[in-house]
Amino acid sequence: MSDKDPALRRNAPKLALHVPEPKFRPGDTPDFSGIVIAAAGEAPRPDTSAPAAETHPLATSLVRVLGDDHRAVGPWDPKLDADTLRKILSDMVTVRTFDDRMYRSQRQGKTSFYMKCTGEEAIATATAAAMSRDDMHFPTYRQQGLLVSRGYPLVDMMNQIYSNKGDRLKGRQLPIMYSDKAHGFFSISGNLGTQFPQAVGWAMGAAIKGDSRIAMGWIGDGATAEGDFHSAMTFAAVYNVPVILAVVNNQWAISSFSGIAGAERATFAQRAVGYGIASLRVDGNDALAVYGAVQWAAERARSNNGPALIEFFTYRAEGHSTSDDPSGYRPGDEAKAWPLGDPIERLKAHLFALGEWDEDRHAALAAEADTAVRAAQKEAEKIGILPQQGKDDIGSMFDDVYAEVPWHIAEQRDAALEESR
């Protein structure tokens, strides 16, 4: 009998391959009214020691604090004082200003590449506010807000972007692949997903040593399809690791919508429950919800109650990178139609509602951020921009491959220096 025996297959329906498609393509009018968005304050807040299974409803719902009236409501309200709220707002504004300036720098040919996080600013900045300064992050290339919030000098970020002599990574890394141990910001890799299980390993180290610090791993919606996502979840669950695993679901992986990563069938948060990991799905454009969720997960991890996954539901408002033109695959005005709005506008409105902010102060904040970014840019560009770099000190290209330069690399260094003469 053949495996295609006509007698057996006569009445069988033809199989069909399903290839997910986003609802809207260029030229379409985006309409997100079909997305179910829980009302602010609606999601319950379980105890931080609750079993993972108890969080299942939270993995399909949406933790939200800021309501349509810009007031904070419900059990996830972290009840932050006005200074903390203003600090988060200020960090977000700085990040957006920084992104805009560096994007322009790339367009002016001062560097080769840049990636903005427009629309996602609340996630990293509110997270940084909710965690301890000495906790370790394993970020992707879109969590620059962590560095800004933790006070990493803007000029150092720019030096890295320009690969100039002030670049602590010595011109070896693509722009924005920052690394700084002192600011708890692990070296960014171009290889997607690799940092997710590494965060688990760091937290395992902390647990082995009886430390009280925790780690947080970051990944995008697209990269959850990598095998490293699965190994991170498995190891985190097996060893009950004090780690927070963050999936930033911004709906897009370059040109692929989240359905290509599996979002048509289940939320990313739901995946965690299957591993026995507590899971939350959170409005990523609501700084208070971000803060509240991270605070919950951090307390859980610190009390040895194990890992948690947080899916931050957001929208990548701009192109994937300076090398990307989103008008080739999605409607130009899709970001404006996004129902969760803009994180900066929402927190600003909240502070207005509290009577802790006004237009004048906001204008002053924006001007201050602009001044700080421009000053840093001026300083960094004085040190150098990419087109001027990579000509002297070619020998340094051969350092740090190993602790000591072995003979074969030393010979190649001599050849490179000879060649450049």
Partner 1 sequence: MPTMNMIQALNDAHKVVMRADEDVVVFGEDVGYFGGVFRVTEGLQKEFGKTRTFDAPISEGGIVATAVGMAAYGIKPLIEIQFADYIYPGYDQIVSEVAKMRYRTGGEWTMPMVIRTPYGGGIFGGQTHSQSPESLFTHIAGLKVVVPSTPYDAKGLLIAAVEDPDPVIFFEPKRIYNGPFDGHHDRPVTPWSKHPASDVPEGHYTVPLGKAVIVREGADLTVLAYGTMVHVALAAVIEQGLDAEVIDLRTLVPLDIETIEASVQKTGRCLVAMEAPRTSGFASELVTLVQERCFYHLEAPVERVTGWDTPYPHAYEWAYFPGPKRMKTALEKVMAD
Q: Which residues bind partner 1 (CB under 8 A)?
A: 136, 138, 168-170, 172-173, 177, 179-181, 186-187, 189-191, 194, 196-209, 215, 227-228, 230-232, 234-235, 238, 399-403, 406-409
User: By C-beta, is 183 or 348 nearer to partner 1?
Assistant: 183
**Long-range contacts of residues 171-179, Cβ cutoff 8 Å, at least 24 apart:** 171/389, 171/390, 171/396, 172/397, 174/112, 174/113, 175/106, 175/111, 175/112, 175/113, 175/114, 175/386, 176/113, 176/114, 176/115, 176/141, 176/144, 177/141, 178/144, 178/147, 178/152
User: By C-beta, is 38 or 177 nearer to partner 1?
Assistant: 177
User: Measured from the CB of residue 397, what is the shortest distance to partner 1 in angstroms?
Assistant: 9
Residue 216 is encoded by which pair of tokens?
């947080």
User: By C-beta, is 195 or 295 nearer to partner 1?
Assistant: 195
> Distance between CA atoms of 24 and 224, rounded to whole angstroms?
23
User: Measured from the CB of residue 171, what is the shortest distance to partner 1 in angstroms?
Assistant: 9
User: Measured from the CB of residue 117, what is the shortest distance to partner 1 in angstroms?
Assistant: 21
User: By C-beta, is 170 or 302 nearer to partner 1?
Assistant: 170
User: Measured from the CB of residue 311, what is the shortest distance to partner 1 in angstroms?
Assistant: 21
**Long-range contacts of residues 152-158, Cβ cutoff 8 Å, at least 24 apart:** 152/178, 152/180, 152/183, 152/185, 153/376, 154/94, 154/98, 154/372, 154/373, 154/376, 155/376, 155/379, 155/380, 156/180, 157/98, 157/376, 158/102, 158/376, 158/377, 158/379, 158/380, 158/381
User: By C-beta, is 18 or 209 nearer to partner 1?
Assistant: 209
Please give the span between the terminal C-alpha atoms of the chain, in angstroms, as a whole number: 73
Report which residue type is found at 355: G
User: Measured from the CB of residue 398, what is the shortest distance to partner 1 in angstroms?
Assistant: 10
User: By C-beta, is 46 or 205 nearer to partner 1?
Assistant: 205
Residue labelled with tokens 């033809």: 14
User: Measured from the CB of residue 43, what is the shortest distance to partner 1 in angstroms?
Assistant: 31
Task: Give yes or no for a contact between 215 and 203, defined as CB atoms under 8 angstroms apart.
Answer: yes
The backbone torsions φ and ψ at residue 281, rounded to the nearest 5 degrees and listed phi first, read: -115, 125
> Distance between CA atoms of 116 and 118, rounded to whole angstroms?
6
User: By C-beta, is 201 or 326 nearer to partner 1?
Assistant: 201
User: Measured from the CB of residue 196, what is the shortest distance to partner 1 in angstroms?
Assistant: 8
User: By C-beta, is 138 or 312 nearer to partner 1?
Assistant: 138
User: By C-beta, is 234 or 255 nearer to partner 1?
Assistant: 234
> Distance between CA atoms of 107 and 252, rounded to whole angstroms?
23
User: Measured from the CB of residue 207, what is the shortest distance to partner 1 in angstroms?
Assistant: 8
> Distance between CA atoms of 161 and 301, rounded to whole angstroms?
34
User: Measured from the CB of residue 403, what is the shortest distance to partner 1 in angstroms?
Assistant: 4
